Structure formats: structure tokens, C-alpha cells
């Protein structure tokens, strides 16, 4: 289990933070905002820096959004400011009229 999902168990994220984090990922996916090293996704630290939110709050939001099927792990890793390997997340987009999900 990812640290983001585990962190969410301590205290659920606030809804306004969920909306901000999801909006940042949607803007990135639509090409309106570049986060981090490019449009392939962003780490919790990169989203935290963009939005000015504490990284722990962003991690909780990412965990909740993953559980809700809105975000997914790209399988990529990038170094964060501390030099640690960070998960790169991306949005999951809806396609078709039957609610099937494909990865962006």
C-alpha cells in the first residue's frame, strides 16, 4: 500500500483540498498547467509546491483521489527536494458512455 493511502487513514482530507488537488491534475492533463518535469504527472511534493499546501495534506488528498478512482500511479518515480524517490501520479479519465476508465 502506498504511503499516501496509509496517511489518509489518520485524518481524512478536507473537501476543498481534494478539489484543489484534483483541479491541478486536471489542468495538467488538459495541458493548461505544467507541474514538475512535464505533463506525464506530478508527485505530491510538486503539487504541494504549486498549490502552497502542506505535502502531508496533498498526500492525503492523493490517497483519497486514488481510492475514488480519480488518480493513479504512473509507475514513474522522480526525486523530490529531499532527494527521495517520489511516486508520479496522473489523472484517470473517463471514456465512452459506459463509464469505463482508461489511463491518461
Domains along the chain with CATH numbers: 3-103 (1.10.10.10)
Judge contact between 96 and 89, C-beta under 8 A. Answer: no
The reported pLDDT for the residue numbered 33 is 56
The reported pLDDT for the residue numbered 14 is 60
- Mean pLDDT, consecutive 10-residue stretches, the chain (104 aa), reads 48 69 77 60 88 91 91 90 90 55 46
Exposure pattern of 11-50 as b/e (b: 16+ CB <10 Å)? eebeeebbebbbebbeebbeeeeebbeeeebbbbbbbbbb
The reported pLDDT for the residue numbered 64 is 92
The reported pLDDT for the residue numbered 28 is 72
Q: Which residues pair with 72 in a beta bridge?
A: 90
Q: And the C-alpha cell for 54?
A: 502542506
Judge contact between 57 and 68, C-beta under 8 A. Answer: no
The reported pLDDT for the residue numbered 6 is 46
- pTM for this one? 0.69
Residue 2 neighbours by CB distance under 10 Å: 14
Amino acid at each position: 500500500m502506498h504511503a499516501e493511502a496509509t496517511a489518509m487513514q489518520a485524518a481524512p482530507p478536507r473537501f476543498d483540498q481534494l478539489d484543489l488537488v484534483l483541479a491541478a491534475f486536471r489542468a495538467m492533463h488538459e495541458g493548461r498547467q505544467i507541474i514538475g518535469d512535464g505533463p506525464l504527472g506530478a508527485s505530491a511534493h510538486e503539487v504541494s509546491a504549486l498549490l502552497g499546501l502542506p505535502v502531508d495534506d496533498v498526500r492525503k488528498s492523493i490517497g483519497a483521489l486514488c481510492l475514488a478512482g480519480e488518480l493513479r500511479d504512473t509507475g514513474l518515480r522522480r526525486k523530490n527536494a529531499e532527494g527521495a524517490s517520489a511516486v508520479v501520479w496522473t489523472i484517470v479519465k473517463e471514456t465512452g458512455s459506459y463509464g469505463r476508465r482508461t489511463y491518461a
